[in-house]
Amino acid sequence: MGPLVPDVVGNELNFIVALIIGIFFGVILEQAGFSTSKKLVGLFYGYDFTVLRVFFTAGIVAMIGVIALEHFGLLDINLTYINPTFLWSALIGGLIMGLGFVVGGFCPGTSICAAAIGKIDAMIFIVGSFIGVLIFAEGYPLFEGLYKAENWGNIRVFDSLGMQQTVFAFILTAFSLFAFWMVSIIENKVNGIKKPAFRFTPYYVTIGAIGFILSLSAFVLTERKDSLQNLVSDKEFVNNYDLKTMTVDEFAYRIIKGDNKLQIIDFRPLEEYKKQSLPGSTAFTFDNLFEKEPSKILRIRHKTNVFVANNEYEERQFAIIANRLGFSNATILKGGLDSFNKEILEFDISSVATTKQESDTYRFRGKASSIIPVLIKENKSAGPVKKTQKRVVGGC
Amino acid sequence: MEEKKYMNPYLAGVLLGLLLIATIYITGRGLGASGAVKSFTVGIMETVAPEHTNNEIFYKEYSGDHAGSPLMNWLVFEVVGVFIGAFLSGLISNRLNLKLEYGPRSKPNIRIVGALFGGLLFGFGAQLGRGCTSGSALSGMAVLSTGGLITMMAIFGGAYLFAYFFRKFWI
């Protein structure tokens, strides 16, 4: 599961990765024509909309790519850098950058590109940007208030607007396609070209079709959590799903024996868990199943992961989701903890057995009902699952 | 030899988008540019005036967020790559030449002052806005960050707002 940094790609290797990514970034920007200020500012005077086309195409492709990676469980979005939102600094900083754009003709990335191929104006722009950073650094006490005002955290735009991610992605894609069409009309008008902006040539039809498919794909790629939650809302499906089960007696026996292959994954709410929990059990939540670090304990080999919750139906729901996420060794406790409490912890010693097997079972339960409560008291459980990894530090 | 034509913008956009996806998948962060300028500035200041940087709050906050030397920074390596990549691309497409570009109604000295002040404003704005067109607007759009999209709209909106007053620079 991504991001690959820091466990698959180490911190030193990450610098090499940065260099290679940078080379590709530089080649693409230069090949697109971002190495000349005339082409860049064309956007603001209507004679060349290359920047808008490249920028929005890249943004849409990347957005849908990230949604897809998350949908297929390849990227943990909780570890990915989401640019934090500070309303006023974002707005005012952006306006100042916009002014810098029309005055200077570059932005920082493109100025580096242009300087690399010998544009003197770009080199001067870079010198200017150093001075700009220095002014900010030296005058920081003056700007700090504005810089840190209205902190909204790592919020994402669909949450801010209160809509689904897919809906927002669709709107943004549709808006971009419309913008591409409009700017072509404007561009032709400004440059005095009489030909219609879009013609039914294979080239335009292909681009339009790809754009259309991309915008629709936003709907197919629903958020994984939503689609899985939807899946387990079907009662019949959940009850008929084939899952490995463990009886309360076997479960009790393994706890008494201190079986180290047994991993108890406790899905009850944390308050209930804190009040009373089984020895060696780990508190887990629905969200943990989707996170890179917490879900690691489910992948430890030769372990029997027993999912426990108050009732078997809930256990089934979590186990099915785990199965769908690729954790194949999820076992559920038959009857849930309710049954475990009733049959084992609060076993009624006066029960009368009618068969030999029953009398063996009852004898065991009688013993277990006195041992396990002591174990629960003595043993400290593992607590909530650990999250050692933090969100990647990114941004400029 | 003649300069080669530029790449189709939609194709370039798709390639850039794929690169950004790969970047996010591998490193968990997006692309950027202005952060490298900041790292260089901090690096230079720490060398030139170490006493000063030990006292100023900005530098202290920076070293709090970034361990190690300011030049051992992801964006510094990335920007060095951008420079190499753009140079190679210019070499292949015969676009390497030392040149000062300015609009038909502008003059070299106006362009020089404009580039200097434009850079200054952009450098300053990118610090305030926590990222530039790449780091905040593009990468922010990829992960649908509210702040990134606000910055993006402010950059382009601001540029359109001020474009009229500087038209003599360009057209």
Cα→Cα distances B6→A37, A204, B3, B10, B169, Å: 14, 18, 9, 11, 24
Residue A307 confidence (pLDDT) above 90 = yes
The kind and range of the H/E element at A333 are strand A330-333
Tell me if B35 and A395 make a contact (CB, 8 A cut-off). Answer: yes
Give me A10's structure tokens: 């180490």
CB count within 10 Å of CB A266 equals 24
The tens-digit pLDDT sequence of chain B (171 residues) is 678 899 999 999 999 999 999 999 999 999 999 999 999 999 999 899 989 888 888 998 888 888 778 888 999 999 999 999 999 999 999 999 999 999 999 999 999 999 999 999 999 999 999 999 999 999 999 999 999 999 999 999 999 999 999 999 998
Using one digit for the tens of pLDDT, what is the confidence trace for A256-277?
Answer: 888 888 899 999 998 888 888 8
What is the average pLDDT value for chain A, to the nearest integer? 88
Q: Which residue from B26, B121, B141 is facing A103, i.e. has the nearest CB?
A: B121
**Inter-chain CB proximity A101 and B13 less than 8 Å:** no
**pLDDT score recorded for residue A152:** 93
The pTM of this model reads 0.85
Q: Which of residues 248-307 of A touch B (CB under 8 A)?
A: none
Query: Quick one: tokens of A212?
Result: 């259309």
| Cα distance between residue A344 and residue A45, in whole Å | 79
Yes or no, beta carbons of A96 and B125 under 8 Å apart: yes
Q: How many helices (H) and strands (E) does chain B have?
A: 9, 0
Q: Six-digit token pair at A125?
A: 């722009």
* Test the B interface: residue of A9, A31, A60, A177 with most B CBs within 10 Å: A31
Nearest CB to A3; choose among B27, B79, B158:
B27
Establish how many alpha carbons lie within 13 A of residue A142's alpha carbon, considering only the half-sphere containing its beta carbon.
Answer: 5
Distance from CA of B55 to the nearest CA of A (A): 11
Interface check for A182 against chain B (CB to CB < 8 A): the answer is no
CA distance A387 to A91: 34
Going by C-alpha positions, the residue among A275, A331, A59, A394 that lies closest to residue B29 is A394
Looking at per-residue confidence, does B158 or A164 come out higher? Answer: B158
What is the distance of C-alpha B150 from the center of its chain?
Answer: 18
Residues A252 and B104: their CA atoms lie apart, in Å, by 86
Using CB atoms within 10 Å of the CB of residue A245, give its burial: 0 to 12 exposed, 13 to 18 middle, 19+ buried. Answer: middle
Tell me if A25 and B31 make a contact (CB, 8 A cut-off): yes
A25 vs A210: CA distance, rounded Å: 23
* Cβ under 8 Å to A: B residues 85-114: 85-90, 93, 95-103, 111-112, 114
Chain B (45-64) residues lying within 8 Å, Cβ to Cβ, of chain A:
45, 56-59
Q: Is B23 on the interface with A (CB under 8 A)?
A: yes
In chain A, what percentage of residues exceed pLDDT 70? Answer: 96
A69 reaches B (C-beta below 8 A): yes
Cα–Cα distance list, A236 to A251, A327, A340 (Å): 26, 22, 24
